[in-house]
Amino acid sequence: MAALDAKTVNAKSVETVKLNCIQKVSSTNNKRLWQLNKAYREAEHDLQLMESIGAISKKEVEETMDKMRFHYVKLGLEMRDGYED
């Protein structure tokens, strides 16, 4: 999924974009650490863009980032431990 631009953010609801950012990081498609890092960076960029255009508050960004960090750490530990479903 490509990073969002200002037009895309305006076309979507804020809640949908926040949920998409969390889903991007928590996705089981992130099988390798580099994929997880890339997804996290893209989601972080999307949230910062939303904040810069005034679509989301700094508090909402931090709350969403906290949720993303939880999934990031969880998946990272599973990768480290060789977790397989």
- Residue keyed to tokens 């599973």: 78
Exposed, middle or buried, 2 (CB in 10 Å: 0-12/13-18/19+)?
A: exposed
Task: Give the tens place of pLDDT for each residue, 5-27.
Answer: 656 665 567 788 888 888 888 88
pLDDT at 43: 92
Q: What is the pLDDT of residue 1?
A: 45
Task: Flag whether 6 is in a domain.
Answer: no
Structural domain including 36 reads: 30-80
How many domains, in total, are found in the chain?
1
- Please tell me the predicted confidence (pLDDT) of residue 3: 58
Residue pair 71/25 in contact by the 8 Å Cβ criterion: yes
Q: What angle do CA 51, 33, 15 make, to 5 degrees?
A: 30
Tens digits of per-residue pLDDT, 68-85?
999 999 988 888 887 554
